[in-house]
């Protein structure tokens, strides 16, 4: 039995919206959108990350800017693998995970086939040993919750493609609900709202920007309602047109998907054993993932469920920080 050299150990959060890499002893070494741009004829990779995201909706016929993950899982294996390798190279200067031990997080409740695809992508990337960890556990660890203790912690991780609600105690998930939708669904809802209300088609990047700048889950007392000018394509004339959307209009549009998220929290709490419910009432629910940053979401959840709600310190980083903590805690031991 011998211990691995640990300096090359990597934690990965291969998310629907963002990929983050953590290197043991160094911390987070990469945070980029999970997007890859390829030439559709030669299959050559043109760019990854932010550069590729900026191409979405703006490519010519020969270029495809693709999100290779969907609903938290790998939708296009080859592109996911290529994207991951490029990110790794960008962050470390090395072309493969050779000699690295990897901890990678994935949504809970995925199928064996989906789990195998994630494992395989990392193995084909050259990893020496791979350990998979469920995203809610990683997020809870990264948010600093006492995951290993005999006390109930509740994490609600709202990512781009999944929303995971989990009660965790003694290192494991006790009750959990995974919705195969997250922030991306809120963007789609905004696209549909603008189409219906103004007869204008906007792109997904404009929708996401609108959500981030103007979106809110509930009205703030005494705060002035904000507006925003956005531009899309008039569905009648086919020409570009700018319109003003209001905070109130977007809030109304987002009501339905947000209600589904709150329903999932309620259902998970209902299934949680009484002692653990009492712990959660005491300590509150913790929100992580980019969706946690939606203005007023914490307040709306509190108003409807009457349990204190806290937003994790760095919601977008929780899962990869948890994968990193995992690397620090468990020295991966080679037994063969
Ligand atoms: N300030 C903000 N307000 C609202 N939503 C935000 C904000 N900032 C980021 N988001 C949203 O958070 C989502 C991305 O979050 P995150 O990086 O946690 O997802 P992910 O881990 O890639 O996805 P998943 O875990 O579902 O695979 C996107 O939908 C993004 O639009
Ligand atoms: Mg995530």
Q: Which two tokens stand for residue 204?
A: 């997904």
Give residue 328's pLDDT: 84
Q: Are strands 240-246 and 69-70 parallel, antiparallel or unpaired?
A: unpaired
- What does the DSSP 8-state code read for residue 162? -
- What does the DSSP 8-state code read for residue 295? B
From first to last of the 336 residues of the chain, give the pLDDT tens digit.
Answer: 344 444 589 999 999 999 999 999 999 999 999 999 999 999 999 999 999 999 999 989 999 999 999 999 999 999 999 999 999 999 999 888 888 899 999 999 899 999 999 999 999 988 989 999 999 999 999 999 999 999 999 999 999 999 999 999 999 999 999 999 999 999 999 999 999 999 999 999 999 999 999 999 998 888 888 999 999 999 999 999 999 999 999 999 999 999 999 999 999 999 999 999 999 999 999 999 999 999 999 999 999 999 999 999 999 999 999 999 999 887 644 443
Q: Are residues 157 and 294 in the same domain?
A: yes
Indicate which ligand has the atom closest to the C-alpha of 73.
1
Contact between residue 164 and residue 322 where contact means Cβ atoms under 8 Å apart: no
CA of 254 to the centre of ligand 1 (A): 15
289 close to ligand 1 (CB < 6 Angstrom): yes
Dist. CA 173–CA 132, nearest whole Å: 14
Give residue 331's pLDDT: 62
68 close to ligand 1 (CB < 6 Angstrom): no
Dist. CA 302–CA 12, nearest whole Å: 32
Dist. CA 308–CA 281, nearest whole Å: 7
Q: Are residues 135 and 152 in the same domain?
A: no
Counted domains in the chain: 2
159 close to ligand 1 (CB < 6 Angstrom): yes
249 close to ligand 1 (CB < 6 Angstrom): no
- The structure's pTM equals 0.94
322 close to ligand 1 (CB < 6 Angstrom): no
Give residue 291's pLDDT: 98
User: Residue with the nearest Cα to atom 29 of ligand 1?
Assistant: 183
Give residue 98's pLDDT: 85
Q: Are residues 131 and 154 in the same domain?
A: no
Q: Are residues 115 and 196 in the same domain?
A: no
Q: Transcribe 239-271 into DSSP letters.
A: SEEEEEEEHHHHHHHHHHHHHHHHHHHHHHHHH
Give residue 2's pLDDT: 41
Q: Are residues 152 and 106 in the same domain?
A: no
Domain with residue 52: its CATH number is 3.30.420.40
Q: Are residues 180 and 296 in the same domain?
A: yes
Ligand 1 pocket test: pick from 108, 288, 289, 315 the residue with the most ligand atoms within 8 Å of its Cβ: 289
Buried/exposed code over 140-179 (b: 16+ C-beta within 10 A; e: otherwise): bbbbebebeeebbbbbbbbbbbbbbbbbbbeeebbbbbbb
* Residue among 182, 189, 172 at smallest CA distance from 137: 172
Q: Are residues 181 and 63 in the same domain?
A: no
291 close to ligand 1 (CB < 6 Angstrom): yes
* Residue among 253, 254, 269, 252 at smallest CA distance from 304: 269
Residue 7: exposure state from Cβ atoms within 10 A (0-12, 13-18, ≥19): exposed
- What does the DSSP 8-state code read for residue 299? H
16 contact partners, CB below 8 Å, separation of at least 6:
34, 67, 69, 70, 71, 72, 159, 160, 161, 162, 182, 184
Q: Are residues 290 and 154 in the same domain?
A: yes
- Provide the residue count of the chain: 336
Residue 20: CA count within 13 A, CB half-sphere? 26
- Angle at which helices 135-142 and 318-329 cross, to 10°: 90
Direct distance between the N- and C-terminal alpha carbons of the chain, in angstroms, rounded to an integer: 7
CA of 20 to the centre of ligand 2 (A): 9
Q: Are residues 165 and 114 in the same domain?
A: no
Dist. CA 44–CA 67, nearest whole Å: 16
CA of 290 to the centre of ligand 1 (A): 3
CA of 60 to the centre of ligand 2 (A): 30
Q: Are residues 107 and 175 in the same domain?
A: no
Phi, psi of 154 (to 5 degrees): -120, 130
Domain hosting residue 55, numbered range: 2-139+318-334
72 close to ligand 1 (CB < 6 Angstrom): yes
Ligand 1 pocket test: pick from 182, 287, 311 the residue with the most ligand atoms within 8 Å of its Cβ: 182
At which residue do the structure tokens 């709150």 appear? Answer: 262
User: Residue with the nearest Cα to atom 19 of ligand 1?
Assistant: 159
Q: Are residues 157 and 292 in the same domain?
A: yes
Give residue 224's pLDDT: 86
Q: Are residues 164 and 266 in the same domain?
A: yes
* Residue among 6, 19, 4, 160 at smallest CA distance from 88: 19
Buried/exposed code over 66-97 (b: 16+ C-beta within 10 A; e: otherwise): bbbbebbbbbeeebbbbbbbbbbeebbeeeeb
């Amino acid at each position: 039995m011998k211990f691995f050299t640990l300096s090359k150990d990597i934690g990965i959060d291969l998310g629907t919206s963002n990929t983050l890499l953590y290197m043991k002893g160094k911390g987070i070494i990469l945070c980029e959108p999970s997007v890859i741009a390829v030439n559709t004829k030669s299959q050559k990779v043109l760019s990854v990350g932010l550069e590729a995201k900026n191409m979405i909706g703006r490519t010519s016929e020969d270029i495809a800017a693709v999100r290779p993950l969907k609903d938290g899982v790998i939708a296009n294996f080859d592109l996911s693998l290529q994207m991951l390798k490029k990110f790794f190279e960008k962050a470390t200067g090395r072309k493969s995970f050779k000699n690295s031990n990897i901890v990678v997080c994935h949504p809970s409740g995925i199928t064996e086939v989906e789990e195998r695809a994630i494992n395989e992508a990392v193995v084909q990337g050259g990893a020496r040993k791979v350990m998979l960890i469920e995203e809610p556990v990683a997020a809870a660890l990264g948010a600093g919750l006492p995951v290993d203790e005999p006390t109930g912690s509740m994490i609600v991780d709202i990512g781009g493609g999944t929303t995971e609600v989990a009660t965790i105690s003694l290192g494991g998930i006790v009750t959990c609900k995974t919705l195969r939708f997250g922030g991306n669904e809120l963007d789609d809802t905004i696209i549909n709202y603008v189409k219906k209300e103004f007869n204008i088609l906007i792109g997904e990047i404009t929708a996401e920007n609108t959500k981030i700048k103007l979106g809110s889950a509930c009205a703030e007392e005494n705060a002035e309602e904000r507006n925003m000018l956005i531009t899309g394509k008039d569905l009648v004339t086919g020409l570009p047109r700018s319109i003003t959307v209001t905070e109130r209009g977007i809030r109304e549009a987002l009501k339905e998907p947000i209600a589904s998220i709150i329903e999932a929290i309620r259902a998970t709490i209902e299934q949680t054993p009484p002692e653990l419910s009492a712990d959660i009432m005491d300590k509150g629910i913790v929100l992580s993932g980019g969706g946690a940053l939606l203005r007023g979401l914490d307040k709306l959840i509190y108003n409807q469920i009457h349990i204190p709600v806290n937003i994790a310190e760095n919601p977008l980083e929780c899962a990869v920080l948890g994968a990193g903590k995992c690397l620090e805690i468990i020295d991966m031991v080679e037994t063969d």
